[in-house]
Structure formats: structure tokens, C-alpha cells
Structure 1
Amino acid sequence: MVKLVLWAFFLLPWLSLFFLKNSAIRRYMPVALFATVINTIIYQIAWTYDWWKYKETLFSWDKVVQIHTVYGVILVGTIWIFYFTFRKFWLYVIVNLIVDCIYSFGFRALWKKLKITTATGNLSPLEGILIMTIIAITLYIYQMWQEGLNGGKNKI
């Protein structure tokens, strides 16, 4: 059951891209990859400072940076969020806050219940939301910069 949940979190986001135009995927893939790099670093920090620990993973080698989250939900979710909200800054912020709250208060609790993560950890859900909000704003600024390189208009 647990492996099925982890595989779903990894594969279903990727399958959802069949419903998106190729031009949108190409447009937002750089920011999604940047989000992946940032989250890979955050997961390494989390491992070091015991913010959380994963007990169950897809592969034996992904104990630190979770494949199902960073390379599934976060990468593809970034593309979808930018597709629907880019150039609408406040909508982008609100959508990110909603998604971050669902993750922090919903999925983190689910991970603990399914024993995917340890029950302990010294990062509160609110601290997690703060970190994710800082990342989201960084990603938005990055995408504005990307669009400037491609002749786009940098307006919020």
C-alpha cells in the first residue's frame, strides 16, 4: 500500500502533463528544474538538521531526497502552478499558500500515519510553509528573469 502511494505521487503528476500543451511544458520546465534543484538542497538540509526523516522510499538510495516528492509532485506541480498563475502574482501567492498548507498539514500527517516518515522531526508545519513561500517567491522572480531573456515582459 505504501509503495503504491509513493509511486502514485511520482507517476501521476508526470502523466498529467499529457493534458498540457508542449509549449507550456517547454516554457515552464526551466523553473520546474530550478525548483527541483532548490528542493534537493532543502531536503539535504532537512536530513542534516533532522527536520524529517523518511523510513519508506521508492528506492533504497533515495533516503535523503525523495524521488516521489521532489522529482514528481514538486517538479510537475511547479509547471502546473505557473501555467495557471504566472503573471498574476497574488493569485500565484495564494495558490502556493493553499498547496503548501495542504502539504504541511495534510500530506505530512499522511506520511507519518503511513509510516513513510518518522513521527519526530523538529520543523513545524508553519516553518515549512515559510520555507516553501520563500522558495515560491524565488521561483517567481526566476521565471520573470527567464521571460526577460526570451523577450517577455517582466510585469507582476
Structure 2
Amino acid sequence: MSNQVIVWSMLILPWLTLFFMPREDIKRWMPAALFVMVTNTIIVDVGVTWKIWETRENIYPLNEIISFVYGALPIGSMWILKYTYGRFWLYAVAQIIGSLVLILFVQPLLHRRGIFVWIDENALAGIGAFTTTLVQLILVYIYQMWQESVFAAAKPLDPNEPDNDP
């Protein structure tokens, strides 16, 4: 399998799974997915700037940001939130398992293929990678709680209510 098939698959295939998620669930979890994209873009960009890793093969127009930041990570987070939201410890365990799969299996595969290469393999090893994962999963959960409170506070417009604007 070519590297281009791998990087395109990491972007496109996760989005195709949304055909199996109800539209209301997509609307509910999409803000958290966007938050995951933004935070992972920052994490990857910091790693590139600090010369911890580099992206050597990617898809156009992405240069430094590996395609799973816009595919597998946000969509995976949506699915995890769908099945674990409201049970933080279950959510945390699922996210940690997902992160370990990424760190222990996916990233080494990408490294061997020359797609996403670690320059300084000790920079985020052990406690650093685990701490980054913990902070991000907590932030995503807090962000989703905040989103839920914003949506709960928003009163839907009643089409039968008269317009009182002058």
C-alpha cells in the first residue's frame, strides 16, 4: 500500500463512518470534534517547531499537519463521546486506549513508512506524551460540557410566538 493511500485513508475513511451516526448526534458532537482539530493542530505544529517530529509525506494542501488530525482524531473523538459522554471515567479510559493505539501502533507505522517521523524520540516519551493526552482529553470533555450548557440555555424560537420587535 502506498503512503498516499494511507494518508488519504486517515482523512477520508473516518468521515465516511458518520453515515452510521444519526444527524442529531453529529450536530451534538461536531463542536468537540472541531475543538479536537484545533488542539491537535496546535500540538502537531508545536512539535514541528520544536523539531520533535516532522511530516515528510502528506496530502495537498496540508504541509506540516498530518491528515489524521482532520480525520481519525476528531471523528474518533465524536464516536467516543457518543458512547461515553456522561460517564467521565469510561470516556477517559476509552480516550487513553485510543491514544495508546495511536502512540504505540499508528505513529511507529507512520515513522517506518517515512510519513510522520520522530526527530527527537525522547522529547515526549513516557510521562510527557501521557500528560499531553490527559490534558487534552480533559479539555475536550470540559469543552463538550460547556457546549451542552450553551445549547441548553439557548431557547429555541417558537414559530407561533408573535414577533415583538419594532
- TM-score, length-scaled by structure 1: 0.90
Counterpart amino acid of residue 69 in structure 1: F
- Does residue 111 (structure 1) correspond to residue 81 (structure 2)? The answer is no
Q: 1: distance between equivalents of 2:150 and 2:116?
A: 41
Q: Deviations over 1:70-107 (max 9, x none)?
A: 11111211111111110010000000110011111111
| 8 Å contact from structure 2 (residues 55, 64) kept in 1 | yes
Alpha-carbon distance in 1 for matches of 2:10, 2:125: 20
- Residue equivalent to 1:24: 25
Q: Name the Cα RMSD after superposition.
A: 1.5
Hey, which of these two has a bigger chunk of helix by percent?
A: 1
Deviation at 1:32, TM superposition (A): 0.7
Does 1:5 find its partner at 2:6? yes
Query: Structure 2: 5+ residue runs without aligned partners?
Result: 154-166
Moved over 3 A (4+): none
Distance in structure 2 (CA, Å) of the matches to 1:42 and 1:112: 17
- Mapped to 2, the partners of 1:135 and 1:129 lie a distance apart of 10
User: Residue 53 of structure 1 contacts residue 121 of structure 1 at CA under 8 Å; is this kept in 2?
Assistant: no
Change (3 A) 1:103 1:70: same
Q: For structure 1, which runs of at least 5 residues remain unmatched after alignment?
A: none
Identity %: 31
Equivalent AA in structure 1 for residue 91 of structure 2: Y
CA–CA distance in 1 between the matches of 2:100 and 2:77?
A: 16
Q: Tell me, in whole angstroms, the C-alpha distance in 2 between the residues paired with 1:77 and 1:141.
A: 17
Kept in 1: contact 2:55–2:65 (CA 8 A)? no
2:63 counterpart SS class: coil
Say whether 1:62 aligns with 2:62. yes
Q: Deviations over 1:106-130 (max 9, x none)?
A: 1111011111123522433432232
1:125-153 CA-partner distances (Å, limit 9, x unpaired): 4322321221110010111111111228x
What residue identity is the alignment partner of 1:141?
Answer: I
Post-superposition Cα deviations, 1:8-54, rounded to whole Å, max 9, x if no partner, equal 11111000000000000000101111111111111111111112111
